[in-house]
Each structure stands twice: as structure tokens, then as C-alpha cells.
Structure 1
Amino acid sequence: MRRSADVMERARQWTRNLKRDVVALWIAARDPRTPWYAKAAAGVVAAYALSPIDLIPDFIPILGYLDELFILPIGIALTVRLIPADLMAEFRRTAASREKRPYSIIAAVVIVFIWMLALSALAHLAYQYAR
């Protein structure tokens, strides 16, 4: 029993750390001390993570949760490595003290645009196939 409680607590802590790191990356993307390549990666990862719309909707079996379970944590981990450790520690402290989590409307618009392009391409292929 104790072992499963420890596993659950570690999973909760990992999730809290990921959420904090997303906000820290959002802060890093706006800080002038962050190197340009890390700023670009942090901006993309944070915008996607903070977007109210998923690129792969969760209602799609298996694939819907791939971004939350694998893609996003890997993106966060790789991007954190691009930021100098002292800056990342500062960004994490700032993120932990924030009360509200930011959100990204721009990322939501981009994701909606990608879905519109995909649906247009699918409609075009269906039309070509039907002729």
C-alpha cells in the first residue's frame, strides 16, 4: 500500500514540476538574458503547453494523450537544457511564486489554422477521389 502511495505522490510532484517549468519557459521566452535559440524553443513549447486547444484532441483514442504524456514533457526537458542553469533556477522561482498561469491565444489561433489547413487538404483529397 505504501509503495503505491509513494508512486502517486511522485507522479503528482512530477506534474507540478512540469506545470511550473512551462510557466518558467514562458518567462524565459520573454527575458532578454535568455539566448535566442533557447528563447525560440521556450516560446514554442510554452505557447503550445499554454494553448487552450490541443493540436491532437484528447478524444482521439491513444493519440489524443500522446502530446501530454510524451511530446510535451520531452519538449520541456530539452528546452530546459538550452537555458543556463542559474537563469532557469531564477525562472522556476518566479514561476512558483505566480498565482495565475498564463495562457496563449496566439498558439490557439495557430492550432486552429493548422486544423483548418488539414481539413481543407482532406476535403480536397476526398473531392479528387470522388471524381
Structure 2
Amino acid sequence: MNFRDRLKTWAKRIRRDGVTLWFAGKHSATPWFAKALGLFVVAYALSPIDLIPDFIPVLGFVDDVLLLPGLIWLTVKLVPAPVLAECRALADTWMAEKGRRPTSRTGAILIIVLWGATGVAAWCWWTS
């Protein structure tokens, strides 16, 4: 398997695990700390708005290439193995039926609130 094929396989796994975390967040056997981190990761991953906009050179893609996969990996490690297997099966079914990932308006609102809070904090710091 060459580098390009491995990269494609890795990207598909990351996409599936993002949807897996969506299901794991609803599962009763998922620990609260995994749900909390998973909620943040899923809201961010499914939000149409990025924390670092893609039009910013280099930095705009850091969240897509490093931050998001790292957070997904960490959250997947916190989910118990039986729950993870069940949620991965649900995610595979979802992806096969829908052909797309779910979207989150809540995630978009969360990112907008974060940007707004950062702007207000920067303004207060700048004017003081």
C-alpha cells in the first residue's frame, strides 16, 4: 500500500470516527468525560464554521489536519471498547445510507460564540 492509499484510508477512518463520536455521545455507557470532550469535538467537526478560518494561509488548515484528528483520536481512546464497536457499526450504517456526515447548527453556534468571546476579550485587552 503506497502513501496516498494509506492517507485516504486514514482520512476515511477519521471521518467515520467523527460520526462514531456522535453516536457515542448519546450512548448511556459512555463516561461523562468522554461525552463532554466528544460533544466539543463533534460540534466542532460538524460545524460549517472553523475556529481558524481556512482562508488564513497555513494556519487555516492546521485545525483540519492536526487539531481535529488529534481530538478525535483522544476521544475515541476514552470510549470503552464495546461502546466504540457498537457506535462504529452505527456510524458505518449511517455513512452507507446517508452518504454524508450529519451537520450541527449547535456546533456552528458554539464556534460563533467562541469567536465572539475572543473578539470581546481582545477588544477589552486592547482598550484597557
TM-score normalised per structure 2: 0.87
* Structure 2 residues not aligned, in runs of 5+: none
Query: Are residues 1:18 and 2:14 paired?
Result: yes
Matches within 5 A, 1:1-131: 6-98=2-94, 99=98, 100-124=100-124, 128=127
Q: Give the AA of the match of 2:25.
A: A
Q: Tell me if the contact between 2:44 and 2:107 (Cα under 8 Å) persists in the aligned partners.
A: yes
CA distance, structure 1, for counterparts of residue 119 and residue 79 of structure 2:
37
Q: Give the AA of the match of 2:75.
A: T
Of 20-29 and 92-101, deviating more is 92-101
CA distance, structure 2, for counterparts of residue 10 and residue 68 of structure 1:
18
Per-residue CA distance 1:12-66 (angstroms, 9 max, x = gap):
1111100000000000001112111111111111111111100100111111111
- The alignment yields a C-alpha RMSD, in angstroms, of 1.7
Q: Which structure has the larger Rg?
A: 1
Q: Tell me if the contact between 2:43 and 2:104 (Cα under 8 Å) persists in the aligned partners.
A: yes
TM-score normalised per structure 1: 0.86
| Count of residue correspondences | 124
CA distance, structure 1, for counterparts of residue 104 and residue 122 of structure 2:
27
CA distance, structure 2, for counterparts of residue 86 and residue 113 of structure 1:
35
RCO higher in structure (CA 8 A, sep ≥6): 2
Per-residue CA distance 1:79-113 (angstroms, 9 max, x = gap):
11111112101111110111242111111112112
Give the direction of change, closer, same or farther, for the CA distance of 1:33–1:67 in structure 2 (3 Å limit).
Answer: same
